[in-house]
Amino acid sequence: MNDFWKEFPLIQQQLNETCELIRRQVKIRNKEIETALIELTYSGGKLLRPAFFFLFAQIGDEQKQDQKQLIKIAASIEILHMATLVHDDIIDDSPLRRGAITIQARYGKDIAVYTGDLLFTEFFELLAETMNGSNFLHTNASAMKRLLLGELDQMHTRYKQSMTVFDYLRSVNGKTAELFSLSCLEGAHFGVASAEVQRLAARIGRHIGIAFQVYDDILDYTADEKTLKKPVLEDLSQGVYTLPLIFAMRKAPERFAYYLEKGADITAEQAIETAQLVHELDGVNDAKAFAKRVTEKALTDIQKLPDCLGKEQLTLLTELLLQRSF
């Protein structure tokens, strides 16, 4: 269990129970794959989505909550996230995830595809157990569709030198912000919070998700591989042009043309030179300022929530996300 959550005793035990449930859910006949999935669950993932789920549940009516149901829904959210990570690693041909060898690198892409698909089935199995007859079955299906469309948007814009902030945000709204928004909304709903809190939760989660992804993309330009626990400049090399690069390119597109015209043939040295240009033209600083503005929108809405310890911890967690190093 991530030591980070020692600062959040309100939800630490629930996150422990969520991880334990995931461990039980991924028990399969293939013990190597089972071990790999358990490692993925416990290998330093931040568990942010279930954490936001539980913090919003704290703002609801504890007397009316079903704690077993909450644990299962939190697990479903993290399992969905895990499935997308496994498939992302296949698409990106990533050798590392959270400092460990990825499933696709260890066992091959075929096995990794089916492993990701298996996790999707576990996600829907938990939904069937906890939301049968609820409108949130449709809500989850719609969220998963938007998540996948966001990933497809990103693939469609690979190596696009005319990439715009709008293109970037359209992808981020689906592939990252959608699941954060769903986590917060479901926490408020199944925590039996008011309709107004649920409305705020969905909006807060979306802003947190956007800021989180922007900062994740910033780290690709600022962190080292040991800290980040995966290869740096991976997105740039694979034609995924994120906000730091987009902001820098807007100032001097001609200075990037030589490097980006190489497409998939860009070398590691050229990727480093491109990153240096991004820093020189303040792309990283501009992206940080953008992430801070979006985070402030989330914090403003958090202040509209009912006063409680959960609200205080939501504020703390949201602020900490701007200070992370991985």
Position 3 in a domain: no
Per-residue confidence (pLDDT) for residue 230, from 0 to 100:
63
DSSP helix/strand/coil, 230: coil
Q: What is the pLDDT of residues 33-73, one digit of tens each?
A: 888 888 888 775 689 999 999 999 999 999 999 999 999 99
Q: What is the pLDDT of residues 85-130, one digit of tens each?
A: 999 999 888 888 867 889 999 999 999 999 999 999 999 999 999 9
Q: At what angle do helices 268-280 and 283-302 cross, to 10 degrees?
A: 70
What percentage of the chain reaches a pLDDT higher than 70?
A: 96
Domain interval for residue 287: 8-324
More confident residue, 220 or 245: 245
Q: Is 23 exposed, middle or buried (0-12, 13-18, 19+ CB in 10 A)?
A: middle
- CATH code at position 36: 1.10.600.10
Q: What is the mean pLDDT of residues 207-225?
A: 92
Position 2 in a domain: no
Per-residue confidence (pLDDT) for residue 229, from 0 to 100:
60
DSSP 72-122: HHHHHHHHHHHHHHHHHHHHHT-SEETTEE-HHHHH-HHHHHHHHHHHHHH
More confident residue, 36 or 325: 36
Q: Is 59 exposed, middle or buried (0-12, 13-18, 19+ CB in 10 A)?
A: buried
Q: Give the whole-angstrom CA distance, residue 326 versus residue 324.
A: 6
Amino acid at 306: P
pLDDT, averaged across the chain: 92
* Number of structural domains the chain divides into: 1
Q: What is the pLDDT of residues 162-214, one digit of tens each?
A: 999 999 999 999 999 999 999 999 999 999 999 999 999 999 999 999 999 99
Q: Give the whole-angstrom CA distance, residue 170 versus residue 166.
A: 6
Position 1 in a domain: no
Q: What is the reported pTM?
A: 0.94
Task: Calculate ∠ Cα 150-305-198, nearest 5°.
Answer: 45
More confident residue, 1 or 315: 315
Per-residue confidence (pLDDT) for residue 75, from 0 to 100:
97
More confident residue, 78 or 1: 78
